[in-house]
Amino acid sequence: METTNQNITHTRATCLASVKAVKDALYVLNGKWKLPLILSLSEGPMRFKDIQRALGEITPKVLSNELRDLEENEFVERKILSTKPVTVLYEMTPYSRSLDRVLEELRNWGLQHRQRIMRKSE
Amino acid sequence: METTNQNITHTRATCLASVKAVKDALYVLNGKWKLPLILSLSEGPMRFKDIQRALGEITPKVLSNELRDLEENEFVERKILSTKPVTVLYEMTPYSRSLDRVLEELRNWGLQHRQRIMRKSE
DNA sequence: GATACCGGTTTCCTTTAGGATAGTGCCCAA
DNA sequence: TTGGGCACTATCCTAAAGGAAACCGGTATC
């Protein structure tokens, strides 16, 4: 059947494109910390130590690396305020706002996944 | 101000919970291949070699490991059909359907991210 | 009988992520 | 002046992720 074949071809092609898109996304968002870090900035700018606390035991070296990486990819902006002792603030860029929906879905999924795991372990 | 403090506290707390939820999610979905693999099964069951082709040069060892892992976490079911030569099919479970929205958002983001990168490299 | 595809496994290896620990320069408060 | 917080950097190290290559038994095809 022509229709069926076309449909199969169509879904095959779009499926491959989708797989590629997800791989593209993961390429920049990989690792344990990037998404949680971006999320933690979504309520407003934060300082280094505060991010560290919010993420729960990330070492300063790793955090520093992640921040640098995110800065290079324009997800995060580093701002230095000339206060009494200088204050360094990390802030989301408009571009990282484009991740809001991804983070929202991931958060929701994480919440229900934890519940499922809890239920199973009883 | 009390209201302000309460608001801050509230968003702090929910923010921490959200960070935790995202970390929970990433804990099971980590790595280069799991999400693309689940996505590639979303159009229907696939055989080992077909998945391999769909993901674009994943080695059989790695694919085998990922499938085993996803099976243990109940994202994927392995079905053996007793055809002339046996056919092995990998299929999404109902539970992995709960990732549909996450995958959809990640795919959309990946698509627009690629466009952005393309635009910038011109 | 040779070749090829399927569904993997085995072995070996390199790279990377990520953590532990220590230390730096600066400022402030007691 | 001693102790502590901030914002990091530097060094070292391990474990895990992931890839390359070879191989395996079974079946089908030419």
Q: Which of residues 49-68 of B touch strand C (CB under 7 A)?
A: 49-50, 60-61, 64
Q: Residues A59-84, buried b or exposed e (16+ Cβ, 10 A)?
A: eeeebeebbebbeebebbbeeeeeee
> A81-93 pLDDT, tens per residue?
988 889 999 999 9
CA dist B59 and A66 (Å) reads: 29
Contacts of A112 in chain B (CB under 8 A): 98
Residue A53: its pLDDT value, please? 94
> What's the CA gap between B112 and B74, in Å, rounded?
31
For residue B120, CA distances in Å to A26, A73, A105, A120, B82 come to 19, 12, 28, 47, 52
pLDDT digits (tens, 9 = 90+) for B38-70: 999 999 999 999 999 999 889 999 999 999 999
Whole-number distance in Å between B22 CA and C19 C1': 21
What letters, b where the CB count within 10 A reaches 16 and e where it falls short, cover A26-41?
A: bebbebebbbbbbbbb
The per-residue pLDDT for range A8-17, each reduced to its tens digit, is 555 777 888 9
